[in-house]
Amino acid sequence: MSGILEGKRVLITGVLMESSIAFHAAKLAQEQGAEIILTAFPRPTLTERIARKLPKPTKVIELDVSNDEHLARLADLVAEELGGLDGVVHSIGFAPQDALGGNFLNTPFESVATAMHVSAFSLKSLTMACLPLMQNGGSVVGLTFDAQYAWPQYDWMGPAKAALEATSRYMARDLGKQNIRCNLISAGPIGSMAAKSIPGFSDLAAVWDSRSPLEWDLKDPDPAGRGIVALLSDWFPKTTGEIIHVDGGLHAIGA
């Protein structure tokens, strides 16, 4: 039986380590029949090394989503490899250290602006860079961390994720006419490279020990990867502007 992504061509950002959600999305996408291409920044060689652990070889393109020249050349580079695209995975987030770890009230705007540009605006800029390749519609899937709440240590990444969630809804509104769906996976905490950059990450992750209805494993990015692959597939043909929680159910529990 063929996989749920048979014949799909997907661009995936954010593969930094085997522990990253993006790596597991890439692995599952290949197992489900997709052809994929990866982007990486600032160290494409690191992603190339990790990509060797995927089931099939895949090309890695250097892409800084805050660099207009990188974005302008992206469609041509992807077209050379895949011809077109049916899906895009946005797994990109960054905030300077002074925007994290309990420094919310003292963070300068320059650092906030960087967090917003890389973590939220890039969903729009990446999608628009890929749009010429999505002539037959497709699916854009991003990753968020539930922006309904103020989390310990997360600071300005919280407002950045809120902006990401709003951006996804507006993209769903404006790209629906081209049969392009835009959705987000709201994943629970994973001990990835991104997590390690957050001072006091263990304080944030500890919330899941007491409140998550389903047992949560910080070392298991597979459930979130499965959520991404499901949204890339044709099994959600009329779902857009949505946030699917893959967080053990914590979002539904008050205390």
Burial-class residue 29 by CB neighbours within 10 Å (0-12, 13-18, 19+): buried
Q: What is the DSSP letter of 63?
A: -
Query: Is 64 within any annotated ligand binding site?
Result: yes
Query: Is 193 within any annotated ligand binding site?
Result: yes
Query: Is 50 within any annotated ligand binding site?
Result: no
Give the separation between CA 109 and CA 89, rounded to whole angstroms: 28
Query: Is 65 within any annotated ligand binding site?
Result: yes
Query: Is 194 within any annotated ligand binding site?
Result: yes
Could you confirm whether 161 is annotated as catalytic? yes
- With beta carbons less than 8 A apart as the criterion, state whether 182 and 161 touch: no
Task: Give me the catalytic one of 56, 149, 161, 238.
Answer: 161
Query: Is 190 within any annotated ligand binding site?
Result: yes
**String of b and e for 54-89 (b: at least 16 CB within 10 Å)?**
beeebebbbbbbbeeebbeebbebbeeebeebbbbb
Query: Is 21 within any annotated ligand binding site?
Result: yes
DSSP letters spanning 113-164: HHHHIIIIIHHHHHHHHHGGG-TT-EEEEEEE--TTS--TTTTTHHHHHHHH
Task: Give me the catalytic one of 27, 154, 170, 177.
Answer: 154
Could you confirm whether 154 is annotated as catalytic? yes
Query: Is 243 within any annotated ligand binding site?
Result: no
Query: Is 191 within any annotated ligand binding site?
Result: yes
In the annotated binding site for NAD(+), the residues are 14, 20-21, 64-65, 92, 161, 190-194
* Catalytic annotation, residues: 154, 161
In the annotated binding site for substrate, the residues are 95
In the annotated binding site, the residues are 14, 20-21, 64-65, 92, 95, 161, 190-194
